[in-house]
């Protein structure tokens, strides 16, 4: 019997015909797909901040989602109650992972010392619950954006004292990562960016960000934390120009600062779309560079220009995402973290379960469709043929770096005008629909 969810029983796979809203229609954890169990491909994770700490407040209105575990006054008691709720929630859903920021697991105290003391008490309990339930920490991170001290950034703050505070928080969270066996550690540059060049030395700020990341790499090594470091790109919000704009920008930044080998990327769907990319675009940029480490699985609203963090329900998105993930052989130590919140009008406790069930089904279905597509090689063979002119002759010599502009000119003078070839986009979209609807 669960303390916070007394009416809930473990959610089970009942198949697509089931009319039970509290069942999985597609997610069958043990079902084998492309040689692995679904749960091994998908590695779902619950985002602590939205699911357990989200209040439903927005810039126009107050909290709508009072949760029983958040009631009371003593921050450590609330934090421990939240842990109980979180592990119960994970058990009901059969989710193996969770993720948190330092300030989600327990409220910040009046000083760093006090905050860290609170963290120690709560982490002790988390460790115990992890052991009892088998639920693991996919990643943790430091919240370097909510407190007023970070109004002008954390490691990119013009004040070195604020930089130091951010460093102290990351130091503590790396120790916690080690203590709880986190499989990854995330940096999302919440306010690492700027609003106006009138007051900003952009080069200096970016150099400071690189120095900060370097210190984290060094400290992880020193304490023996071996989880994967991840950077989560986002183009804007809260600042106008975020330094971690998108996958390509982050990869360029890491390469420029000699940090590339220490990091991979955590790609979030709604961040990709804010950067005017598709989800699969940013996944592919990360993947083709060997740097796709983990995913924040959510979706935005095409009519709203901000990070709405909705639970994923778009089968095109999940299919194309899983296609990239399958093709690179999985996410390694990463997973699919639902960085998503129920709408503020979704006020039943049950809605939290329904939202996760839908999201898990969306990705399970995406996995199955992607694996069929991949197995049949439809897109692969089309794409391979599309570039066939580079497999032999002139194209092959271009790829080998053996061709000059003079050679290209000679080729055209001899061969004349190239023949147009169709990209067959509509046909491929039809094929994708055939697989989705099969």
The DSSP secondary structure of 69-111, one letter per residue, reads GG-SS-HHHHHHHHHHHHHHHHHHHT--EEEEEHHHHS---SS
Give CA–CA dist 318/374, Å, rounded.
14
From 183, 246, 282, 307, residue interacting with ligand XUL (rule: CB under 6 A): 307
Binding mask 197-236 for ligand XUL (x = CB under 6 A): -----------------------------------x-x--
Nearer to Co ion, 123 or 231 (CB): 231
Nearer to ligand XUL, 89 or 188 (CB): 188
Tokens of 153: 């950034």
Smallest gap from residue 286 Cβ to ligand XUL (A): 15
Restricting to residues 266-285, name those near Co ion by CB under 5 A.
268
Nearer to ligand XUL, 107 or 379 (CB): 107
Give burial (CB, 10 Å; 0-12/13-18/19+) of 258. exposed
Tokens of 76: 């450590």
From 272, 339, 342, 359, residue interacting with Co ion (rule: CB under 5 A): 339
Q: Binding-site residue total for ligand XUL (CB under 6 A)?
A: 10
Partner interacting with residue 208 (select from Co ion, ligand XUL, none; CB below 5-8 Å by kind): none
DSSP conformation class of 29: T
The DSSP secondary structure of 291-311, one letter per residue, reads -EEEEE--B--TT--S---BP
Smallest gap from residue 157 Cβ to ligand XUL (A): 17
Residue 101 is among the residues annotated as catalytic for this protein:
yes
Partner interacting with residue 172 (select from ligand XUL, Co ion, none; CB below 5-8 Å by kind): none
Per-residue buried b or exposed e for 392-405, using 16+ beta carbons within 10 Å of the residue's own CB: eebeeeeeeeeeee
Give CA–CA dist 355/387, Å, rounded.
42
When asked if residue 98 is in the footprint of ligand XUL (CB under 6 A), the reply is no
Q: Are strands 97-101 and 44-47 parallel, antiparallel or unpaired?
A: parallel
Strands (E), 180-226: 184-187, 193-194
Q: To 5 degrees, how large is the angle CA 352–CA 354–CA 360?
A: 105
Residue 74 is among the residues annotated as catalytic for this protein:
no
Partner interacting with residue 141 (select from Co ion, ligand XUL, none; CB below 5-8 Å by kind): ligand XUL
Ranked by CB distance to ligand XUL, the top (closest) residue is 188
Smallest gap from residue 190 Cβ to ligand XUL (A): 6
From 339, 341, 369, 432, residue interacting with ligand XUL (rule: CB under 6 A): 339
Nearer to ligand XUL, 246 or 296 (CB): 296
Partners of 194 in beta bridges: 241
Nearer to ligand XUL, 170 or 373 (CB): 170
Smallest gap from residue 307 Cβ to ligand XUL (A): 5
Residue from 28, 104, 309, 339 carrying the catalytic annotation: 104
Residue from 50, 96, 101, 356 carrying the catalytic annotation: 101
Residues 370, 374, 376, 381, CA torsion sign: positive
Cβ atoms 182, 172 nearer than 8 A: no
When asked if residue 141 is in the footprint of ligand XUL (CB under 6 A), the reply is yes
369 vs 13, 16, 81, 376, CA distance in Å? 18, 15, 39, 11
When asked if residue 264 is in the footprint of ligand XUL (CB under 6 A), the reply is no
From 88, 192, 296, 361, residue interacting with ligand XUL (rule: CB under 6 A): 296
Which residues does the annotation mark as catalytic? 101, 104
Residues at the interface with Co ion (CB under 5 A): 268, 296, 339
The residues that touch ligand XUL, with contacts defined as CB under 6 A, are 101, 141, 186, 188, 232, 234, 268, 296, 307, 339
């Amino acid at each position: 019997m669960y303390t916070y969810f007394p009416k809930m029983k473990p959610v089970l796979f009942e198949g697509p015909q089931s009319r039970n809203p509290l069942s999985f229609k597609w997610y069958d954890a043990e079902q084998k797909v492309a040689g692995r169990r679904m749960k091994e491909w998908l590695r779902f994770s619950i985002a602590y901040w939205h699911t357990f700490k989200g209040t439903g407040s927005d810039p126009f209105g107050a909290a709508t989602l009072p949760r029983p575990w958040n009631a009371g006054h003593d921050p450590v008691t609330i934090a421990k109650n939240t842990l109980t709720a979180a592990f119960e929630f994970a058990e009901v859903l059969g989710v193996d992972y969770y993720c948190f920021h330092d300030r989600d697991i327990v409220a910040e105290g009046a000083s760093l010392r006090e905050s860290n003391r609170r963290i120690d008490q709560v982490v002790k309990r988390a460790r115990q619950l992890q052991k009892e339930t088998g639920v693991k920490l996919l990643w943790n991170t430091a919240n370097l954006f909510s407190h007023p001290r970070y109004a002008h950034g954390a490691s990119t703050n013009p004040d070195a004292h604020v930089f130091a505070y951010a460093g102290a928080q990351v130091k503590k969270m790396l120790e916690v990562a080690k203590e709880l066996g986190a499989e990854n550690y995330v940096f999302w540059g919440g306010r690492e960016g700027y609003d106006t060049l009138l007051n900003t030395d952009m080069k200096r700020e970016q150099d400071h960000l690189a120095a900060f990341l370097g210190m984290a790499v060094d400290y992880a090594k020193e304490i023996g934390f071996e989880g994967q470091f991840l950077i989560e790109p986002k183009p804007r919000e809260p600042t106008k120009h975020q330094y971690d704009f998108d996958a390509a920008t982050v990869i360029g930044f890491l390469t420029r600062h000699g940090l590339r080998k220490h990091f991979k990327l955590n790609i979030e769907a709604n961040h990709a779309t804010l950067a005017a990319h598709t989800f699969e675009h940013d996944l592919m940029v990360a993947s083709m560079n060997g740097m796709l480490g983990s995913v924040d699985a959510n979706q935005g609203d095409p009519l709203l220009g901000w990070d709405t963090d909705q639970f994923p329900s778009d089968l095109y998105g999940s299919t194309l995402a899983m296609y990239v993930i399958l093709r690179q052989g999985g996410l390694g130590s990463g997973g699919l973290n639902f960085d998503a919140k129920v709408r503020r009008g979704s006020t039943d406790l049950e809605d939290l379960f329904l939202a996760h069930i839908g999201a898990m089904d969306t990705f399970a279905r995406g996995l199955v469709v992607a694996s069929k597509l991949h197995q049949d090689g439809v897109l692969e063979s089309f794409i391979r043929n599309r570039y066939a002119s580079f497999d032999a002759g002139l194209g092959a010599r271009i790829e080998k770096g053996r061709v000059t502009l003079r050679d290209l000119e000679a080729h055209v003078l001899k061969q004349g005008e190239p023949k147009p070839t169709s990209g067959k986009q509509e046909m491929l979209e039809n094929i994708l629909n055939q697989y989705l609807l099969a």
